[in-house]
Structure 1
């Protein structure tokens, strides 16, 4: 009787462990996306070239993330979109980390 219970319990424990580790990775990637978006927006707002701001954002973003920077009238908008961790890819875009940041341009006067 204990063998059957163990045979059912071990896969359930492994599944919970994988989902938990995926959730921790998703939270870590979300923080990295937020930091990357803020840094890219700040860099472009202080007058750095948009390409340099995107490069800075890519260095801080999780691997495989896309970074965009848009200069508008008096503001700079940056967006970072990462990929969901493998354990959470079944959630689709919901499990993917993303962040946006807006900063006022310092060189617009």
Structure 2
């Protein structure tokens, strides 16, 4: 029984860490989507681009890149972010790239 536990415990720990990592990536994706939506709404209201981008980067998390485009009475905001492994455990694995786009109708001035 002890030998089986000694062999199975590291595998169970690795699976648990992997599942926590997937949960963290999912939560980061939600933050990226929220950041894009927040900036699109702010720009559609006519807020300054700098403050809208700063708010999007704050919501989306560290290392986020925000871009906007305008046309046809709409504003489109994209947010990109790279997420690395937890605590340096997965340094050998490539980072995960997250992307979100939000579109809002520009309000009349």
Partner SS state of residue 80, structure 1: strand
Residues 1:19 and 2:24 are matched in the alignment: no
Unaligned runs of 5+ in 2: none
Please give the residue correspondences for 1:87-102 in structure 2 after superposition, counting only pairs within 5 Å: 90=93, 95-102=96-103
The CA deviation at 1:97 is 2.6
TM-score normalised by length of structure 2: 0.81
Aligned to 2:105: 104
Query: Within 2, Cα distance between the matches of 1:7 and 1:96?
Result: 36
The CA deviation at 1:105 is 1.1
Unaligned runs of 5+ in 1: none
> Aligned residues, how many?
105
Of 99-108 and 81-90, more deviation after overlay is shown by 81-90
The CA deviation at 1:91 is 6.0
Report which of the two has the higher share of helix. Answer: 1
